[in-house]
């Protein structure tokens, strides 16, 4: 008998199971709107032209080798990553109270931040500190904080299903009523899965309550530049919090905006009260990294660092990112127009009001099931679709399928 015979079989990760089902489907006109990655209008992955260029630069640079990086990662990558989210002129950077930890993607940045907060925030090894994640949120948020040892992961109100927009009063109400020193995981831009972000004025209200109630802001920034096509606009909320003197973490992912999905390129930006606090925080981060992955990989970090450090390459990268963002915006406009021309019941303004890779369609689970089983259009059970899965060739079929699901299925 195996020593592992009592290990229960875990449920598959939903988004990867969806892709597997799609791949196994022989239907010729099937459409995958589940996967969280950019696709061209031909439905193909896109290696950014600037990435191809930088990869060649790296290959021909004889100074480079495969020695270990520092435990906290490639210095140029860490500093340029923090600069891009906080801004070149950030007072926090000038005051030497910003540090970075190179991590394995945005998930790794969330994980290292969560492990640190569990050990050192709100007392020592306080597993009872409430961690609030938006309702709904990216499913990994709950799991990352739970696996880091936090015992009280709670939802905060975010999505107003009836109005198909932000439930600001509910959000502010939860900020007012939660225990002091609670941790709030905030989506910097392009909220996943709803695509609905607070306005700048709403962010100011959120920041005011969080500061007054002594709540900790942990931003997750996975789509900077990808959401609106503008790096500064997509980082506005993070920069506003920093401008108010808030100590905070920001998990950054370069999977989407560099197309480096399998290189696992992430950074945890730490904004501390002063340089002394930062030094102590980073010293403990180093201990956590040492027992987690010990040392980070270099390839993806080098690609990002070289790109962000060269004005010419940086400009080219911004153009590449805008190409992706503009295609998403075009697909949003076209899908909304097609649904309206079909006379599909309900309002569809939310498709263009939302931003980023994902749209929260408002389809209910029965309608989603109809889409998958009858129309071979694969999307998450929540009704979330990846706008990049839409192309000029399949958008009519998808719009007609949504129309059919809404009119036939309650």
DSSP one-letter code for 33: -
Whether 259 contacts 51, CB under 8 Å = yes
On the CB side of 5, CA atoms within 13 Å amount to: 3
Asked if 339 and 348 touch (Cβ cutoff 8 Å), the reply is yes
State how far the Cα of 333 lies from the Cα of 349, in Å rounded to an integer.
9
138 part of the active site: yes
Nearest to 84 by CA among 327, 291, 304: 304
Spot the catalytic one: 83, 111, 157, 256. 256
> Taking Cα atoms as reference points, which of 301, 295, 287, 255 lies closest to residue 115?
287
Q: Give strand pairing partners of 102.
A: 267
Q: Residues 188, 220: contact at Cβ < 8 Å?
A: yes
How far apart CA 109 and CA 220 sit, in angstroms, is 9
Q: DSSP letter for 7, please.
A: P
Tokens of 398: 């998808």
Report how far residue 235's alpha carbon sits from residue 116's, in angstroms, rounded to the nearest whole number: 24
220 carries an active-site annotation: yes
At what angle are helices 200-212 and 236-243 packed, to 10 degrees? 40
Q: Say if CB 304 and CB 77 are below 8 A apart.
A: yes
The residue annotated as part of the active site, out of 46, 83, 138, 234, is 138
Contact criterion met (CB below 8 Å) for 308 and 80: yes
Alpha carbon of residue 266 to chain centroid: 11
Identify whether 193 is preceded by a cis peptide bond (ω within 30 of 0).
yes
Tell the burial category of 169 from Cβ atoms under 10 Å away from its Cβ (0-12, 13-18, 19+).
exposed
Of the residues 220, 317, 338, 348, only one is catalytic, namely 220
The answer to whether 88 is a known catalytic residue is: no
* Active-site residue set: 138, 220, 256
């Amino acid at each position: 008998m195996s020593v592992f015979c009592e290990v229960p079989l875990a449920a598959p990760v939903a988004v990867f199971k969806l892709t597997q089902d799609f791949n196994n489907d022989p239907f010729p006109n099937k459409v995958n709107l589940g996967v969280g990655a950019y696709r061209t209008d031909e439905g193909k992955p896109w290696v950014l032209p600037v990435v191809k260029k930088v990869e060649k630069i790296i290959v021909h640079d004889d100074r480079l080798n495969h020695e270990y990086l520092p435990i906290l990662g490639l210095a140029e990558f860490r500093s340029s990553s923090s600069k891009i989210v906080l801004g070149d002129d950030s007072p926090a950077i000038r005051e030497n109270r910003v540090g970075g930890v190179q991590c394995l993607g945005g998930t790794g940045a969330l994980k290292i931040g969560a492990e640190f907060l569990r050990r050192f925030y709100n007392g020592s090894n306080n597993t009872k500190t409430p961690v609030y994640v938006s309702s709904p949120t990216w499913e990994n948020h709950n799991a990352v904080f739970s696996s880091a040892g936090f015992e009280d992961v709670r939802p905060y109100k975010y999505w107003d299903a009836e109005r198909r927009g932000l439930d600001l009063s509910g959000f502010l109400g939860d900020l007012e009523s939660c225990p002091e020193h609670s941790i709030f995981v905030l989506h910097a831009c392009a909220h996943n899965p709803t695509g609905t972000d607070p306005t700048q004025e709403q962010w100011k209200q959120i920041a005011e309550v969080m500061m007054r109630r002594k709540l900790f802001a942990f931003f997750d920034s996975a789509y900077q530049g990808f959401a609106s096509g503008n790096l500064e606009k997509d980082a506005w909320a993070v920069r506003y919090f920093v401008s108010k003197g808030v100590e905070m973490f920001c998990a950054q992912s370069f999977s989407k905006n560099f197309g480096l999905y399998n290189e696992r390129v992430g950074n945890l930006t730490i904004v501390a009260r002063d340089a002394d606090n930062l030094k102590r925080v980073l010293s403990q981060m180093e201990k956590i990294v040492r027992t987690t992955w010990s040392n980070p990989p270099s390839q993806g970090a080098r690609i990002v660092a070289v790109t962000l450090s060269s004005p010419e390459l940086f400009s080219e990268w911004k153009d590449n990112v805008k190409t992706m963002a503009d295609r998403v915006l075009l697909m949003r406009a076209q899908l909304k127009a097609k649904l309206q021309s079909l006379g599909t019941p309900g309002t569809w303004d939310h498709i263009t009001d939302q931003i980023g890779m994902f749209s929260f369609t408002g389809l209910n689970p029965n309608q989603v099931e109809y889409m998958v089983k009858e129309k071979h259009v694969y999307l998450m059970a929540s009704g979330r679709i990846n706008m990049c899965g839409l192309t000029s060739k399949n958008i009519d079929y998808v719009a007609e399928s949504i129309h059919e699901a809404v009119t036939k299925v309650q």
